Amino acid sequence: MIQSTHVSELKNKAEQQVIVQGFVHTLRVQSKIIFLILRDTTGLVQNIIEISTPEVFETAKNLSHESVVRITGIVKDAPQAPGGFEIGVTALEVLSHANPELPIPVVVKGSDEETEAPTRFDYRWLDLRKPEKANVFKVWTELEKGFRSYWSENNFTQIYTPSFMSTPSETGAEVFEVNYFDRKAYLAQSPQFYKQMAIASGLERVFMVGPVFRAEESFTTRHMTEFTGWDFEVGFIESHHDIMDLEEGMIVAGFEQIKKTFPELELTVPARPFPRITIVEAKEILASLNVESGEEHDLSPEEEKKISEYVKNEMNHDFVFITEYHKSKSAFYHMRLSEGSDRSRRADLLFKGIEITTLAQREHRIDILEKQAVDKGMHLEPLKDYLNFFRYGCPPHGGAGIGPARLIMKVLDLQNVREATYIPRDVKRLNP
């Protein structure tokens, strides 16, 4: 590979010859001098091409924006240039010529309106050339680095679960059905059943990062049909509070990692413990604030927003766990709070007004699990593989499913979860 220098490293290279590579960000051609701003993945640098190097001058003159070039030159101090230095170009190689008719602008000037999201997503690779868009995934990388180091320090094992399932994992209402040779298969809407199998396998603590599919006809700013899920599952817990404790640790580790790499974001690392409010208490608080109640046992998006605002005002916290959902809002595999209780050991984590996690202690006692499934009107036959996990000894356990795109969306104050997704998929979008 050519020994090139990234723009971010140029400050240590004054008076040295360097090779830089990247896109033509802007080009200003004058009669005797050309100013070419080059953009690489780390920043922008001004390059000066003078008429005294006629071949280079001629090549540069005919460049189009967004062409890909390799420049050789000498780094010079230049207080007036962005970054305080520039490159006096001695050689210029065009690696790829860009069609001058760009379908969307890459360089958006001050007051120019940004292209509408659907059009930007059609040309996502051009959209992502904008440093602030690419930055989303750099922040995500740091968040995930923090999570992974937490998982590693706390003895989690990574697993990968399949996306093809022979039966719909939960109600069947939200799953994609696909042709699978001579039969039907379903795309996993959560890796949960297989994470639980890992606990029955004796792995004790597992995590995974993988695709999740939802066949929901949702057109909101927080729903997609495919998204990345972060999931973990832990054995030998005493209650859902253990899962909340672990998730707090993960989030703090992720936020600390972002803060270390991106101090300019001025991210607040959340204090532990995060507030925990039962759904009953949440409804009482919302009633006292005169917020219209939707469903009796659930929070509407508006209620999630309002309860988060309340927690921010009263407890100065961006996160809140809403706990102990009614059994009607709990899955058959959620353990009840105690025998005969109509509340379950389930919690949702809200961050700045939206849900980013559902977590729970699962029911590991096969007789109770079967009864809860029957009570929900489910047939046991399609569940037999899952139910078998619990017939030969399985530790008490629980876990969480986290939506990192929603987390990143709120960390960076983006308007839509799609902006935090490399190539979004939704009801209308299957391209590029």
Binding site for ligand ATP (CB under 6 A): 214, 216, 222-224, 227, 229, 355-358, 401, 403, 405-406, 417
Least CB distance to ligand ATP at residue 403 (A):
2
Q: Which residue matches tokens 């659930």?
A: 298
Q: How many Å apart are CA 209 and CA 119, to the nearest integer?
A: 29
Closer Cβ to ligand ATP, 73 or 275, answer by number = 275
Q: Is the Cβ–Cβ distance between 381 and 165 less than 8 Å?
A: no
Closer Cβ to ligand ATP, 120 or 406, answer by number = 406
Closer Cβ to ligand ATP, 222 or 336, answer by number = 222
Amino acid at 399: G
Q: How many Å apart are CA 112 and CA 128, to the nearest integer?
A: 18
Least CB distance to ligand ATP at residue 347 (A):
11
Least CB distance to ligand ATP at residue 308 (A):
14
Least CB distance to ligand ATP at residue 128 (A):
19
Q: Which tokens hold the place of 355? A: 């849900």
Least CB distance to ligand ATP at residue 214 (A):
4
Taking the CA of residue 361 as centre, how many other CA atoms within 13 Å lie in the half-sphere pointing to its CB? 25
Q: How many Å apart are CA 307 and CA 365, to the nearest integer?
A: 34
Q: Which residue matches tokens 């923090």?
A: 146
Question: What angle separates helix 301-315 from helix 279-288, to the nearest 10 degrees?
Answer: 80
Closer Cβ to ligand ATP, 17 or 221, answer by number = 221
CA nearest neighbour of 334 among 214, 199, 206, 240? 240
Closer Cβ to ligand ATP, 25 or 327, answer by number = 327
Q: How many Å apart are CA 402 and CA 232, to the nearest integer?
A: 9
Q: Which residues, including other chains, have CB under 8 Å from residue 373's CB and lie 6 or more apart?
A: 332, 333, 380, 383, 387
Least CB distance to ligand ATP at residue 55 (A):
52
Closer Cβ to ligand ATP, 115 or 221, answer by number = 221
Amino acid at 66: E
Least CB distance to ligand ATP at residue 295 (A):
12
Closest residue (Cβ) to ligand ATP? 403
Least CB distance to ligand ATP at residue 296 (A):
16
Q: Which tokens hold the place of 134? A: 């690419």
300-338 burial: b if 16+ Cβ within 10 Å, else e: eeebbbbbbebbbeeeebbbbbbbbbbbebbbbbbbbbe
Least CB distance to ligand ATP at residue 407 (A):
7
275-289 burial: b if 16+ Cβ within 10 Å, else e: bbbbbeebbebbeee
Q: Is the Cβ–Cβ distance between 425 and 228 less than 8 Å?
A: no
The residues with which 213 forms a beta bridge, in sequence order, are 226
Closer Cβ to ligand ATP, 214 or 397, answer by number = 214
Least CB distance to ligand ATP at residue 346 (A):
9
Q: Which residues, including other chains, have CB under 8 Å from residue 200's CB and lie 6 or more apart?
A: 389, 390, 392, 393, 394
Phi, psi of 171 (to 5 degrees): -85, -20
Closer Cβ to ligand ATP, 215 or 378, answer by number = 215
The residues with which 69 forms a beta bridge, in sequence order, are 22, 94
Closer Cβ to ligand ATP, 73 or 404, answer by number = 404
Closer Cβ to ligand ATP, 189 or 372, answer by number = 189
Closer Cβ to ligand ATP, 229 or 353, answer by number = 229
Least CB distance to ligand ATP at residue 321 (A):
12
